[in-house]
Structures are given as C-alpha cells and as structure tokens.
Amino acid sequence: MNDLKQKILTAVENDLSEIEKALSDNLNPYLDLVSDVAGHIIFSGGKRLRPLLMVLSARICGYTGNYDVTFSTAIEYLHAATLLHDDLVDSAALRRGKPVAHSKWGNSIAVLVGDFLLSRALSISAGTGNLKVIRILSKLTEDMSQGEVLQFIRKGDVSLTEAEYLEVIRRKTALLFKAACWVSAVIADASDDEESALSDYGFNLGIAFQMADDLFDYTLETSDLGKEIGADLKEGKMTLPVIYALKQANSTDKDLMVKIIEDKNFSVADFKTLVGMLQKYGGIAYTEKKAAFYIKRAKDALSAFNSSETKETLLDIAEYAIARRI
Amino acid sequence: MNDLKQKILTAVENDLSEIEKALSDNLNPYLDLVSDVAGHIIFSGGKRLRPLLMVLSARICGYTGNYDVTFSTAIEYLHAATLLHDDLVDSAALRRGKPVAHSKWGNSIAVLVGDFLLSRALSISAGTGNLKVIRILSKLTEDMSQGEVLQFIRKGDVSLTEAEYLEVIRRKTALLFKAACWVSAVIADASDDEESALSDYGFNLGIAFQMADDLFDYTLETSDLGKEIGADLKEGKMTLPVIYALKQANSTDKDLMVKIIEDKNFSVADFKTLVGMLQKYGGIAYTEKKAAFYIKRAKDALSAFNSSETKETLLDIAEYAIARRI
C-alpha cells in the first residue's frame, strides 16, 4: 500500500509542487489576517487530491494549455471554505492534528474568511471565461451548501437510513470530486463522452473516498487520524458503518449502541464496545465492500480513455482512495 | 419627506410587486428549513432598494427584456447572505425589529444558509450567461468579504480614521450598490458612458446611504430603528459621527467619549451624553454634510441620461436616501 502511495507521488511530483505554488500565488488577499487564516487551513498538510484530479483530468483529455494549475486552486479554495465553516458547525477541535481556525481566531473570522475563500473560488472560475465551467461550479456550491444543512439537521438521528447517508455524502463530497474532474474536461475542450467519463470517475471516487474517511473514525487511532477518537460520533454524524450495524443488530445490542451514540460523553471503553458492535454486525465490512464497489465504477468509467501514464495514475488514485490509511 | 417616499412608491409599485414575486420564485431551496431561514431574512420588510435600483438602471438604459427582475434577486440574495453572517459576527440581537436568524435557529444554520444564499446569488448571475456580469459579481463578493474582515478587526478601535471608515463602507455597502447599477447597464447592453454613469451613481448613493444609516444609530429611537439603541456602538462599530466628534473634541470630552465607547454596558444616560457630544462637536452635522455631498455626486452622474420618468425616480431615490428616517 505504501508502494502504491509512493508510485502515485513519484508520478505527480511536479504537478504537486506547481499546485502548491499556485495555491500560494492565487490567494490574493488584501489583508494579512485573511492570508493567515486562509493559510492555516490551506497549508495544513492537505493531500491536494482535488486539484491533482483536475490537473490529471485535463491532461487525460489532451489539454496542453497552462491554465489548469491556476484553475485547480478554485476547487481547493472552495474545499477550504467548506472546511472552515464545517469545523465551526461541527464544533470540531482538531483538523489534521492542528487546532481548528475558529478556536484560534474566533468564530467570526472563520465565517468571514470562509466567505472570502468561497468568493475567491468563484472569481477564479469566472476567470476561465468559460460559461459552462462557471455554471457547474456555482451550481456545485449551491448543492453543497444544502448538503451541509441536511447533514446538520439530521445530526444525532439514529434513524438515518443508508439512502439518506448517501444523499449527504453525495452533496458534501462526491459532487465536488465530480465537478473537479468534469470542469477540467470542459477546460480541455474534451468530447461529451470524455466529460461524462470523468464526471462518473469523480463522482464514484468521491463517494468511495468519503466512505473510507468515515471508516477511519472507527478503524484508526488519534495519532493517525489527526482528530479526536470518535469525533464523528461526538459530532452526531451517523455514517455507514454505524447505520448498517444498527440495522443488523438484535434489539439488546441496538439499544446499547444507541445509548452510546446518544451519550456525547462516551468513554473510550464505550467507544470500543461500539466498534466491536460495528465489527460484529458487519458495519465495517459492509462499508468496505460498498466503497470497493464505487471504486470499481470509478475505474470502469476510465475505460473511455486509451492507456497512458495519466490514466494509470488516475486508476492508482482510485485504488489508493480505499487502500490508504488516512 | 413622506411625500417623496409616496411619490417613489407610486412610481415603482409594479416593479416592487414583481421583485417580491421573483424573490419568492427564485430562491429554489431543496430543504424547507433553508426556505424558512432564508425567508426570515429576505421577507422581513426590507426596502428592496438594491433590486429596485437594478430594474431602474436597466430601464434607463433602454432594456426591454424580461430578465431584469429575475436577475435583481441575485443582489438581494447576496445582500441577505451578508446580513445573516454579519448579524452573527456582530452578535446582533434584532434586525428590523425581529430576532436575528442565529438567535432563532442557531449559529450553524445561519452560517450554512448564508452560504446557500451567496451560492444562489452567484448561480443566478451565472444564469445571465454574461461573463462581464459574472466577473463583476464574483469580484464584488470577494471585495465585500474582505471589507467585513476589515470592519471586524478594527472593531472598537477609537483611533479609526475617516479614511479607514470610508474604506469599510466602500467595501461593505457602496460596492454592492455600484455593482447593482453597473451590471444592470451591462445586461441592458448600454454604452460605456452609461455603464460608467450608473456605476458612479450607485457607488456614491451607496456611500451616502451607509452614512445615513450610521447616523440613525444616534438620531432615531429604537421603535423607529428596529434594533437596540446604541447597537453600532455596542458592536464596537466606529462610524463617521463618532470619528469626527472624537477628532474635534477637547481632551476632557474625548476621554469621556472614549470611556463610554469602551464600556460595552453603557447606560441610556451615557449614550445620551455621547449623542450630546456628537452634536456639540459637529459629528452629526458633518456626516449629514458628507452624505449630501455624495448624493449630489450620485445625482450629477445621471446627467449622462436624458430626462425620463425612470431618471426622475432614480433622482428621487437619491434624495430620499438621506432624507428618509429609516
């Protein structure tokens, strides 16, 4: 698995360093504080997966211009904007092992700098001069914001169904991955088939990526996770491992699980009990299986393209999205 | 003054009812809660000044299409988004005499629905299919968000200068008014001169409008104001009447004023003392004079247009912006 990571990193080394530079060059803040706060979230060890997908998607469609890297910052800024607001909404404490922005600068600054990053992302998309790109990204921000509301209002609801969970992760993660790949095909002036193939790749990868992320809360230790153990549960986020196990459990076990979930101050022992239930009732395995299913769909979508180094990297990224340990 | 209001309202009666309908038709929320929260801020007795300026600006440029009313909702949604986030940032209690959204639904929902409204506004602007319009509005949202940060970090700073105050109100109010008038000229396919004239009109009107608003905090009673007495001061907002009076005051009076300003729990008597100082040192009169100066510039900008009913209404609105009592 580390071999796969290394293979990907070697293949995209130049791209990642160009993306890193572009993220710094294009932020364009007028106030130092905005730069500090935005930098705190943007330069905090993110994987740059979304901008990387954009650069690779443009390349696989034969794009040879020089706007792809600049443009890829739009999606990363948009992603950072949602993280700033989400951490606030979730009352999160840590992200990637560091205190969240709102605990460092206060809620107001987190709200306002999030607004700036969202606006900056849409300005960069306007800078493409491509109406289709602009429409895809503005529609995306609308869909995502309502997804966040949906997640928020269903927090702590142990009756959340798998279909409702899918709707939440579709809006909060998969649509962003989909848009990242899709708009890059548009920028590259790709065929409809190529646009459609990359949309499908991004969407399915996004679903699987989020499922893998949701699994980590129950399979990793804090030191790897970069956030508190059981953080999702403490924030009331019902994810697939839990949803599935609750559905399968006998009534005694279900009652026990619900009791732990509804007690926001559960102990480490309680949490371990819950993780044991997720294993016992197949919540972990089911989620892994589902994630693998979506990754297969993502890979299949790429059959529209001939073999190339770029295609191989996109396939490797899909594989790694579920094989990774954070 | 009430005659002027009545004259304007009669002239724009149809426009206002079309705008009201469009605001309801174009919100397009997927969740009832989003609709409720957005509706709370959008349908709370706002003057609809910004969308009205858009419709009138398009008309004075000879626009005969039917997209102006729909498009005007973009600016009102954007305005509502900033109000939702501002009220949160300012810890405001009342707006237009009603409890603010975050006190009713909580901070998280106010953040997320604000994000939705901002996204919706940019989606509607993308819907024009006009790149210039899209660029003006996306740049506007960037400039405004940084203006909000500037205002926030300078809160309670009694050394704020008139120039810094102007920079804050330029970003938080005047650029929005400017963009509203400007993009409508663009939609109407107006000449460069007409675009420029309406930009100038909007910008100067916006500055004067904000100065008048800032005066109200010191000249109106709560029943008229729709918010607490001394609310700006309690939020640490240093506005022109205060900035000017502080600059003119002798050191004893200045110390007294600073003491009141820095005590967020000032009494009604303290507040009256402060208002007395603003009068004594000409802070009220100076602000009125400045606002009148910008209104003259706004009106002068319209000299680019021939006489018409629409022009007369735009001139009346400029007059009313400083003659109004809320």
Q: Which residue has the tokens 């010191």?
A: B218
Contacts of A149 (CB under 8 A, 6+ apart): B31, B33, B34, B109, B112, B113, B116
Q: CB neighbours of A261 closer than 8 A, spacing ≥ 6?
A: A156, A158, A233, A238, A242, A274
Q: Average pLDDT, whole number, for chain A?
A: 91
Is the CB of residue B78 less than 8 Å from the CB of residue B118? yes
What's the number of domains chain A is made of? 1
Residue pair B78/B117 in contact (Cβ under 8 Å)? The answer is yes
What mean pLDDT is reported for chain B?
91
Q: How far is B116 from chain A (nearest CA, A)?
A: 5
CA dihedral B204, B208, B210, B213 (to 10 degrees): -160
Which residues from A are below 8 Å from B119, CB to CB? 118, 138, 141-142, 144-145
- CA–CA distance from B308 to each of A261, B4, B87, B185, B218 (Å)? 67, 17, 39, 16, 37
Residue B180 confidence (pLDDT) above 80:
yes
CA distance A227 to chain B (A): 21
Across B256-279, b (16+ Cβ under 10 Å) vs e yields bbeebbeeeebeeebbebbbebbe
Chain B partners of A126 at a C-beta cutoff of 8 Å?
131, 134-135, 138-139
- Residue B79 pLDDT: 93
What mean pLDDT is predicted for residues B11-19? 94
Are residues B48 and B20 in contact, defined by beta-carbon separation less than 8 angstroms?
A: yes
Q: How many residues does chain B have?
A: 326
Q: Flag whether pLDDT at A37 surpasses 90.
A: no
Instruction: Determine what percent of chain A falls in helix, strand and coil, rounding each to the nearest 5.
Output: 75, 0, 20
Q: Per-residue pLDDT for A180 more than 90?
A: yes
> At residue A1, does pLDDT exceed 70?
no
| Distance between first and last Cα of chain A | 12
Q: What are phi and psi of B26, to 5 degrees?
A: -95, 0
A118 close to B (CB below 8 A): yes
DSSP H helical segments within chain A, as ranges? 2-11, 13-25, 32-42, 49-60, 68-89, 101-105, 107-127, 131-153, 162-169, 175-187, 192-219, 222-225, 231-234, 240-248, 251-262, 268-280, 283-301, 309-323
Percent of chain A with pLDDT over 70: 98
> What are the φ/ψ torsions at residue A95 (nearest 5 degrees)?
-140, 130
- What's at A140, amino acid-wise? L
DSSP code of residue A170:
I
Confidence of residue A234 (pLDDT cuts 50, 70, 90): confident
Within an 8 Å CB–CB cutoff, is residue B38 touching chain A?
no
User: Please, which pLDDT band fits residue A224 given cuts at 50, 70 and 90?
Assistant: low
Is-contact A37 A110, C-beta < 8 A? yes
Q: What is the DSSP letter of A302?
A: G
> Mean pLDDT over residues A151-174, rounded?
94
Residue of B nearest to A133 (CA): B126
pLDDT band at A318 (very low <50, low <70, confident <90, very high): very high
State the pLDDT confidence band at B204, using cuts at 50, 70 and 90: very high
Give contacts of B147 with chain A, Cβ < 8 Å.
none
Domain around B69: 2-323
Q: Collapsing DSSP states into helix, strand and coil, what is residue A46?
A: coil
The predicted-structure confidence for B161-179, as pLDDT tens digits, reads as follows 999 999 999 998 999 999 9
* Neighboring chain A residues of B111 at a CB cutoff of 8 Å: 85, 88-89, 111, 114
Q: Give the model confidence (pLDDT) of B81-103 as tens digits.
A: 999 998 888 777 777 778 888 87
CB contact under 8 A, B131 and A126: yes
Residues A304 and A203 sit within 8 Å (Cβ to Cβ): no
DSSP-based three-state secondary structure for B80: helix
Residues 6+ apart with CB under 8 A from B62: B188, B190
Question: Per DSSP, what are the bridge partners of residue A94?
Answer: A99
Provide mean pLDDT across the span A200-208. Answer: 98
A50 CB near a chain B CB, below 8 Å? no
Q: How confident is the model at residue B225 (pLDDT cuts 50, 70, 90)?
A: low
* A23/chain B closest Cα distance in angstroms: 16
What percent of chain A has pLDDT above 90? 69
Give the pLDDT of residue B264.
78
% pLDDT > 90, chain B: 69
Whether residue A148 contacts residue B31, with contact meaning beta carbons closer than 8 Å, is answered with no
Cβ distance A132 to B137 under 8 Å? no
Residue B95's SS3 state is strand
What is the three-class DSSP state of B99?
strand
Please state the pTM of the whole predicted model.
0.90
Predicted confidence (pLDDT) at residue A247 exceeds the cutoff of 70: yes
Q: Do B138 and A119 touch (CB under 8 A)?
A: yes
Count Cβ neighbours within 10 Å for each residue of B105-144 and write b for 16 or more, e otherwise: bebbbbbbbbbbbbbbbbbbbbbbebbebbbbbbbbbbbb
3-state DSSP assignment of residue A10: helix
The answer, yes or no, to whether residue B40 has pLDDT greater than 90, is no
Give the domain CATH number at A29.
Answer: 1.10.600.10
The minimal CB distance from A115 to the residues B85, B116, B123 is found for B85
In this prediction, residues A3-25 reach a mean pLDDT of: 93
B139 closest CB neighbour out of A116, A123, A141: A123
Q: How many CB atoms lie within 10 A of CB A179?
A: 29
Say yes or no: B34 contacts chain A, CB-CB below 8 A: yes
Question: Chain A to chain B, count of Cβ pairs less than 8 Å apart?
Answer: 131
For chain A, the residue count is 326
Please state the rounded mean pLDDT for residues A2-29. Answer: 91
Q: Which two tokens stand for residue A253?
A: 């076990």
Sign of the four-CA dihedral A209, A56, B120, A86: positive
Query: A34 to chain B: which residues are within 8 Å by CB?
Result: 146, 149
Q: Please enumerate, as own/partner, the contacts of B187-190 that have beta carbons within 8 Å and a separation of 24 or more.
A: B187/B58, B187/B63, B187/B65, B187/B67, B187/B68, B187/B71, B187/B128, B187/B130, B187/B133, B188/B57, B188/B58, B188/B59, B188/B61, B188/B62, B188/B63, B188/B68, B189/B61, B189/B63, B190/B61, B190/B62
User: Do A115 and B153 lie within an 8 Å CB cutoff?
Assistant: no
Q: Are B81 and B101 in contact (CB under 8 A)?
A: no
Please identify which residue in the block is written with the tokens 């650029």.
B175
CA-to-CA separations, A203 to A209, A297, A299, B315, in angstroms, rounded: 10, 9, 11, 52
Of A30, A112, A152, which is closest to B109 when you measure between CB atoms? Answer: A152
Report CB contact under 8 Å: A149, B113.
yes
* pLDDT value of residue B208: 98
pLDDT (0 to 100) of residue A184: 97
B34: pLDDT strictly greater than 90 = no
pLDDT band (50, 70, 90) for residue B223: low
Min Cα separation A120/chain B (Å): 6
Q: Which residues in B lie closer than 8 A to residue A116 (C-beta atoms)?
A: 142, 145-146, 149
Distance between CA atoms of B75 and B176, rounded to whole angstroms?
A: 8
The residue assigned the tokens 């002036």 is A189
Return the pLDDT at A325.
Answer: 74
> pLDDT of B236-283, one tens digit each?
899 999 999 999 999 999 999 999 999 878 888 999 999 999 999 999
CA distance B103 to chain A (A): 15
pLDDT at A239: 96
- The pLDDT assigned to B13 comes to 94
Mutate to test the interface with B, among A32, A115, A134, A155 (most CBs of B within 10 A): A115
Residue A303, pLDDT above cutoff 90: yes
Is residue B271 a contact partner of residue B234, using CB atoms and an 8 Å limit?
A: no
A109·B34 Cβ contact <8 A: no
Over 90: is that where the pLDDT of B140 sits? yes
Distance in angstroms between the alpha carbons of the first and the last residue of chain B: 12
Assess B132–A contact: CB distance below 8 Å, yes or no. Answer: no
Chain B hits for A113, CB-CB cut-off 8 Å, are 145, 149
CB A118 within 8 A of CB A161: no
Instruction: Give the C-alpha separation, A140 to A172, whole Å.
Output: 10
Three-class DSSP category at A8: helix
Which residue in chain B has the smallest CA separation from A89? B108
Q: Which of A157, A288, A141, A144 is nearest to A214 (CA)?
A: A288
Within an 8 Å CB–CB cutoff, is residue A156 touching chain B?
no
For A130, nearest residue in chain B (alpha carbons): B131
